[in-house]
Structure 1
Amino acid sequence: MEDRIREKLKILADAAKYDVSCTSSGSNRKNDGKGIGNASSGICHTYTEDGRCVSLLKILLTNYCIYDCAFCVSRSSNDVKRAAFTVEEVVALTMNFYRRNYIEGLFLSSGIFKDADYTMERMLRIVKKLRLEENFHGYIHLKTIPGASGELVTEAGLYADRMSINLEMPTEAGLKLLAPDKSHTEVKRELGVVRAKAIQYADERKLIKSTPSFVPAGQSTQMVIGATAETDRDVMQTANEYYKAFSLKRVYYSGYIPISSDNRMPMIGTPPPLIRENRLYQTDWLLRVYGFDVEEILNETYQNLDLDVDPKLSWALRNFQLFPVDINTADYRMILRVPGIGVRSAQKIVAARRFGKLRIDQLKKIGISYSKAQYFIRCADTPFRLNEKDPYTVKRIILRSSQSKYLKNQFQQLSLF
């Protein structure tokens, strides 16, 4: 690889790491001359719906940008080294890495130079050349550019597997404070274009089998958390709105990392709110998979998530009057709401109890976290005294148990040495 290309790759792969829409961890493994192969900058990993780990080349087309978003490392006023790939360079990099079995696909985003359509047109040329000229059938995740024309976005959807566009801030007010040149209206328009075209192509495919696929892996968005003053309720209400309006596959929550010296930004010099980010992902999972509503978890009284315990346990402790649940008679929806019982375990419980009443040892074999669930359930041989504790005592016991398990695991790992 030429030094010039290697330098560009280093700059633009590093700038791309702040986009979490592709769950990733960068790799830069060096060969000391005694091994085989090298892992280069920009190689990251994402996971498919069936659990496979896919390696991607994750880069920006350019980190030049006409916008001055306060939270962004590539903002126009920031003093960073700039670089830009040509269309041909991105295509060549992708194909060379693919042929060497470093990657299985491409994650391509970009700063905005000149204007939105100018940038989007070049990104479109890249994916078209990969598909049509290089006959590349690997995975492509393409970030669309806010403000780009619907025609360019629609054409790009014929070649990309997944498309996404960053919402940036959870509310319009927060966005206007830190990125006054951007608008949620533009994001909604482009998400709406992709959703409408996906429905249109799906309907046409029912009649004409040769109809091409359109963004088969769906679309997603991302919000920066902690840079503005929104509550967790604000964040999850926005996420829920976009899930319902645009059938998103995922909403990603990126804890703000203090990389900016802009006086509009908070938390300079403090670590990112990683535990809050984790709790938001857990809440997102409850909305998408467990059938919860936002207002059940977060409301006027509880504006922010409990950082001590996961949101499902927090909800159960606040609604302790609904428990204990009788595992042998409760419906599936209520079993699914018991802390320590996941989707697969709930399905197994409903299936198994048709053959007889379930007991504690059977529940453990099914795979539930009995140490947590025991305070919220009854089964055939449950001692009644276990369910007589108040929610504050239960929370204290569970937290103490979790801390004890953590310390035990740490001791076991240290003992290996």
Structure 2
Amino acid sequence: MEKLSILSDAAKYDVSCASSGSKRENHNKGLGNASNGICHAYTEDGRCVSLLKILLTNFCIYNCAYCVSRSSNDIQRAAFTVQEVVDLTINFYRRNYIEGLFLSSGIFKNADYTMERLVLVARKLRTEHKFNGYIHLKAIPGASEALLQEAGLYADRLSINVEMPTEQSLQLLAPDKKRNDMLQPMQYLQQQINGYATEKKRIAKTPLFAPAGQSTQMVIGATPENDWQILGMAHLFYRKLQLKRVYYSGYVPVSHDNRLPAIGTPVPMVRENRLYQADWLMRYYGFDVREIVNETYPHLDMEIDPKLSWALRNLEQFPVDVNKADVSLIMRVPGIGIQSAQRIAAARQHSRVNADLLQKLGIAYNKAKYFLALPSGHMPRHDYTAAQLREQLVRMQQSKYQANFSPQLQLF
């Protein structure tokens, strides 16, 4: 339990899950018990999955300036044995605490030595215990292709952290690491994932290989890259390596190293939020990265979401007639999401869509109305300049937050 406390806390800096750190003890013969290391991830169909999220060890041979587990940091160290991780996973699974395992690690001696133990955990779970729950393994940069190959046969998802947005930042803050040690395994995994998927179509008995794909993570705010550089890198990962997700981890100051932001100046949560919103636009809304950020607009707007920012820079494309426009264009209207756009397309087959119907369909009408052309009698003003409209919407958003006493960010 002491190891679990240390190594689940160290794992919280891996943001490939939605939440972590819950510890709710059972009192008075109540029902259920949430232990250290339980986090949550979401499947493509929206289901929430509970995972045991831990490090195999927080010992590490590397001294990356931004990492709390770096070799020079004076912290309490611990390491699980392979069997301890297997036993924890099975026992938690049998008690219905978890539905799977998220396992990462510091580097013991070298990449292969560590990766071999991660693979052994997954192998024991699958072959000895017939465990069919979800397994996400963090692959170790520089590990051999043979170990990556075996990992893919046991894990549902593999991920290799690229860590820094640019090679220059990696050399500055983690000079012992090489960018190529991260990119080559990612390329190898992509080839294997595609190869096994193709073979599966031809031969049904072909085993699964990382069926949930691969992902990566970047630390943001530890170095001065702008959002154009960060999202440009994510765009390449999605297009060339077909990654399922890129995660953005706001740097948490853990060191007085003069190469890093000062203690007490964490990356604002809103920046992470905007990056995820922009990422969502690229993956699901059909936006090219250059439409969101580019050389002229290298920074995301912290006051408004990226879709609204794009709309204000492209007012010539509005207003959109929801009774005639293609669904892909309707989805680009601020305040209208994917499901709402699909509902609009279905509804207009039976009747004209007006303001009352749009509000019933669940869109953010007070935002969307400035970008829509609706039947006579429901036409909002479209003679605002971009600056005037931005000011109007920001003021409306601030009033809404103040009224609700809630500073939460609206997504789209």
Deviations 1:270-308 (A, max 9, x none): 133210110000000111111111111111211100000
Deviates more, 1:312-321 or 1:259-268: 259-268
TM-score w.r.t. length of structure 2: 0.95
1:256 and 1:273 in contact (8 A); partners too: no
Is 1:400 the equivalent of 2:395? yes
Shift >4 Å, 4+ stretches:
382-385
| Aligned counterpart, 1:98 | 93
Matched, 1:125 2:120: yes
2:140 to 127, 141, 145: 145
CA RMSD of aligned residues (A): 1.4
Aligned partner of 1:338 among 329, 333, 351: 333
Q: 8 Å contact 1:57–1:106 — kept in the other structure?
A: yes
- Residue by residue over 1:147-176, the C-alpha shift from the partner in whole angstroms, topping out at 9 and shown as x without a partner, is 000110011100001110101011111111
1:70 aligns with 2:52: no
Look up the SS of the partner of 1:262 in the other structure. Answer: coil
User: Which sections of structure 1, spanning at least 5 residues, go unmatched?
Assistant: 1-5, 412-417
Q: How many pairs does the alignment contain?
A: 406
The Cα of 1:353 is off from its aligned counterpart by 2.1
- 1:373 maps to 368
Q: Partners of 2:339 and 2:129 in 1: how far apart?
A: 42
CA distance in structure 1 between the aligned counterparts of 2:2 and 2:350, rounded to whole angstroms: 65
The one of 298, 301, 310 aligned to 1:303: 298
Aligned to 2:195: 200
Residues in 1 aligned to 2:81 and 2:125: alpha-carbon distance in whole angstroms:
14
Q: Distance in 1 between matches of 2:37 and 2:331?
A: 40
Structure 2 residue aligned with 1:179 = 174
Deviations 1:365-416 (A, max 9, x none): 22221100111111113555511222222112212221222222239xxxxx
Identity, % of aligned pairs? 62
Match runs of 1:47-86 below 5 Å: 47-86=42-81
AA aligned opposite 1:332: V
Amino acid at match of 2:57: T
Q: What is the deviation of 1:33?
A: 4.7
Quick check: 2:101–2:135 contact (8 Å CA) kept in 1? yes
Superimposed CA distance per residue, residues 190-220 of structure 1 (whole angstroms, 9 cap, x where no aligned partner): 1111111111111221222111101011110
Q: C-alpha deviations, 1:207-242, integer Å up to 9, x for none?
A: 221111010111100000100010000000000001
Task: Give distance in 2, aligned partners of 1:258 and 1:144.
Answer: 25
Q: Work out the CA distance in 2 between the residues paired with 1:203 and 1:399.
A: 49
Q: Which amino acid aligns with 1:264?
A: R
Taking a change above 3 Å as real, the CA distance of residues 81 and 332 of structure 1, as seen in their structure-2 partners, is same
Is contact 2:221-2:251 (8 Å) kept? Answer: yes
Residue number in structure 2 paired with 1:415: none
TM-score (norm 1): 0.94
On the 8 A contact 2:38/2:53 being kept in 1, the answer is yes
Match of 2:212 in 1: 217
Distance 1:370 1:65, change over 3 A: same
CA contact 2:58–2:77 (8 Å) conserved in 1: yes
Using a 3 Å threshold, how does the CA distance of structure 1 residues 357 and 269 change in structure 2: closer, same or farther? same
Matched, 1:284 2:289: no
Partner letter of residue 240 of structure 1?
H
- Per the alignment, residue 112 of structure 1 pairs with 107
* Gap change, CA 1:205 and 1:371, over 3 Å in 2: same
Secondary structure, counterpart of 2:218 in structure 1:
strand
Native 8 Å contact 1:142 1:160 kept in 2: yes
Give the gaps of 5 or more residues in structure 2.
407-412
* Residue type of the alignment partner of 1:400: R
Structure 1 residue aligned with 2:410: none
Contact 1:360 1:381 in 2 (8 A): no
Task: Supply the distance in 1 between the matched residues of 2:304 and 2:380 (Cα, whole angstroms).
Answer: 24
